[in-house]
Amino acid sequence: MQEIFIDIIISNIVLFIIAITVSLFFLIDILLLLLIIIKLIVCVAITPIVLLLLISIFFFFFFFVPIIDIATTVIVVIIVVVIIIIIINIIIIIIVIIIH
């Protein structure tokens, strides 16, 4: 019984470390996306409503995901952030293609 408990703790720690490293990479990606979005705001006036929508979706998933287990919560948040980043990247690519 104790071995199973220790295994669960170790796997949670490993998942948490993986989640932190992945989220750091996505933090860099998010900063790059923010730069691109700022450049797009300068080029094409993105309506504030769209920006507010993106920000609200982002904060919703960060603060209101039910905390059942730290590792699973972090993984869910990372999956959601990955999906959002992919969608934003596709939108940005489409906008850049339209501009050029």
Low-confidence ranges of the chain (pLDDT < 70): 1-2, 4, 22-26, 28-29, 36-78, 100
In the chain, how many H helices and how many E strands? 3, 0
* pTM, full prediction: 0.33
Which residue in 33, 8, 47, 51 sits closest to 96, CA to CA? 33
Q: What is the pLDDT of residue 63?
A: 58
Q: What is the pLDDT of residue 6?
A: 73
Please give the residue range of the domain that contains residue 79: 2-99
Question: Structure tokens of 18?
Answer: 């993986």
Report how far residue 98's alpha carbon sits from residue 95's, in angstroms, rounded to the nearest whole number: 5
Number of domains in the chain: 1
Q: What is the pLDDT of residue 46?
A: 53
Q: What is the pLDDT of residue 43?
A: 58
Q: What is the pLDDT of residue 95?
A: 77
